[in-house]
A and B are shown apart, each in its own frame.
Chain A
């Protein structure tokens, strides 16, 4: 092969070659650009951001859920905004999410799950419990209505 007898490329020349090959054979998908550009439109969810207080998936020992078929993970998240709290259990099952939540102090208020392509609403019962059984496995954000609405950050499970 001829290239073995050529002088070895310098770092800069090698990086240039790598960049050219990457651009040809692994371009950034157009859909990534569209998704990134459209994200600015989500600046306007009118609710107070709640702080993430606990995430069972942020440690090195995620709790693995039960179930004998395939990996299934229950992720626990807790949010706080002033005296208000929201806890979530997100159950990932292939490409769908099941979410069981609790609002404190308990209130029968509307909870909206929002993802980039849509949203679904439910109402918590008078103990503050709610459940959303069939969300798409996409980045999702929860908005708790009420006198002073609260929103979680974007969650990817």
Chain B
């Protein structure tokens, strides 16, 4: 979906077009999920962030000056709300300083995976540091967010997105070898 199509969905949603809103939701729901999971939020915390992101977007629809950039706005809003939830529950230090060798806590249920290869991949993913997990989570979102949206979600310059992805995929590959 190109930027013009996204802008059109924003314009039509603003007028109350439910079909356009549904398309906008389907375009970005996976990204919001990836961001929440990248910050290790689950259950009610993650569901509340999801809910507030969409409620905010509805109230924001009339004020958006660059409708084609709505994805970046959604990504930044989701990230900020995740960070605030973590701060409020005093978990932010745990997230950034622990370094991330707590394998099972990826939000992915290994019990649902049948193949050994998939389990190995999940194991290698779980051994990555949290930052790389956040980077790769965004690559795993369906549909895949744009580099600009990923940059907003990670609070990185757009030019740094591809190198961060390459580095994290390298680490994952080493973990699989």
Contacts and interface: CB of A to CB of B under 8 A. Distances in A.
A141 B96 CA distance: 31
A29 B113 CA distance: 18
B29 interface: yes
Given A25-B112, A32-B33, A9 B88 contact: no
B139 interface: yes
Given A21-B118, A32-B33, 19 more contacts: A3-B176, A8-B176, A11-B169, A15-B140, A18-B125, A24-B112, A26-B37, A28-B29, A28-B30, A32-B47, A33-B25, A36-B25, A37-B21, A57-B88, A73-B88, A92-B88, A116-B55, A139-B48, A141-B55
B interface secondary structure, majority = helix
Contacts of A154: 52, 55-56, 59
Contacts of A43: 16, 58-59, 61
Contact of A18 (B32, B54, B87, B121): B121
A32 to B, nearest CB: 5
B133 to A, nearest CB: 11
A43 B63 CA distance: 13
Contacts of B116: 1, 3
Contacts of A95: 44
Contacts of A57: 84, 87-88
A42 B88 contact: no
Q: How large is the interface on A (under 10, 10 to 19, 20 to 34, 35 or more residues)?
A: 35 or more
A55 to B, nearest CB: 9
A33 B55 CA distance: 13
A32 B29 contact: yes
Contacts of B139: 15, 18-19
11 contacts: A3-B116, A4-B177, A11-B166, A14-B173, A18-B136, A26-B108, A28-B33, A35-B47, A62-B88, A156-B49, A157-B88
Interface in B121-168: 121-122, 125, 136-137, 139-140, 142, 165-166
